[in-house]
Amino acid sequence: MAWLVLKDGKAYEGEAFGFWKDSEPVTGEVVFNTSMCGYQEMITDLSYSGQILTFTHPQMGNYGWHNEESEAGKVLIKGVAVKELSEGEGSFHADRSMEEFCLNNKIPGIKDIDTRALTRHIRRNGTISGVLVAELEQGIKFWQEHSEQDIQPDRHWVYQTTVSEEYEIHGEGPLLAVLDMGIKRNILRCLQKRGFRLHVFPASASWEEILNVNPQGLVLSNGPGDPDGIPEIARNVGNLIPKLPVLGICMGHQIMAMAAGASTYKLPFGHRGGNHPVQDLATGKVTMTSQNHGYAVREESLEGTGFKVKYVNLNDGTVEGLIHEKYPIITVQYHPEAAPGPEENSGIFDCFAEFVSGKGINRHA
């Protein structure tokens, strides 16, 4: 028996799986993803650090676990919630089962809960913190004794997900600096496929350190948490706006907007799934996108920043991408690398490659 107890007192009963340590409470922000598959990529996506991820699709684990599809070398998700967990490896090519991966990587899970009811509750009331416990009374008591602030990490999640030391990935093409704020492996793969040589920096790297390697472009990666919690990174990136072509993805998009003077805000329950329609305002083209974020750029704050909205979410009208009116900088809130999700947005990497080569818009020193 296991329980997911939300901060507002709502509780959901289920059965424990994965790693549970001596009935120790596990807390996290409870979010949901509507994708039908891709549980491996989601669980290993560092953007879910500190969160308890609910899968709305009723069955998970049915094709096992393939090591090569993990999006990071470490896992910082706090827990997972599923309706039905498939047993076994589910595929001749699988390395293990989803349950075995959770057990080996100390991820607590809860299954056989009403994930539809949980999702509806989040959609009606907004994202909320929860605690995974063995007994209902334990969860109720926990929230009587703890506040939201009590469960916040001492360090921003970005500094827990980023690499500890810079490193280089060889390639035959131009050198790109990559600011790792919890980067997904498929972003690196997409850049490698286009021939780039990559110099990956920790999130704390200074703009001087980045310029010292003489890159021909800069990539700002995805990452977890509230962008307002890391203003020092935005200030740092601001020094690079006139100096390099830049591609920002997810958290990188938000950081670039903040670097130019814009602001962000928290969405009621975030965008997490593989079927979010986004429109390119320049062409009118609509594509389906993969998304995983709980914050967005405030459109009205863009005035005077030099950025204009390029992409917009057709579900709620939120900003999904920016382009600079003077410098070769493009950012997207969604995930063009997918993993998981639709792959029809990978052209963003080609657009950025043109910026780096000087073919996209005028280069500025």
Q: What are phi and psi of 256, to 5 degrees?
A: -65, -40
Q: Any binding-site annotation on 79?
A: no
| Token pair of 78 as six digits | 């706090």
**CB of 319 within 8 A of CB of 299?**
yes
Measured from the Cβ of residue 77, the count of other Cβ atoms closer than 10 Å reads: 23
Element (H, E) at 275: strand 264-280
pLDDT in tens, the chain (365 residues): 899 999 999 999 999 999 998 878 999 999 999 999 999 999 999 999 999 999 999 999 999 999 999 999 999 999 999 999 998 777 888 999 999 999 999 999 999 999 999 999 999 999 999 999 999 999 999 999 999 889 999 999 999 999 999 999 999 999 999 999 999 999 999 999 999 999 999 999 999 999 999 999 999 999 999 999 999 999 999 999 999 999 999 999 999 999 999 999 999 999 999 999 999 999 999 999 999 999 999 999 999 999 999 999 999 999 999 999 999 999 999 999 999 999 999 999 999 999 999 865 433 33
Q: Any binding-site annotation on 60?
A: no
Distance CA 125, CA 8 (A): 10
Measured from the Cβ of residue 48, the count of other Cβ atoms closer than 10 Å reads: 26
Residues catalogued as catalytic: 250, 335, 337
Structural domains in the chain, CATH included, are 2-151 (3.50.30.20), 157-357 (3.40.50.880)
C-alpha dihedral sign at 333, 339, 344, 346: positive
Q: Any binding-site annotation on 12?
A: no
Q: Any binding-site annotation on 28?
A: no
- At residue 133, the 3 state secondary structure works out as strand
Which segments of 45-174 are extended strands (E)? Answer: 51-55, 59-60, 79-81, 84-85, 108-111, 128-133, 167-169
Distance CA 87, CA 107 (A): 17
Cα dihedral value 43, 48, 52, 55, nearest 10: -50
Residue 127's identity, in one-letter code, is T
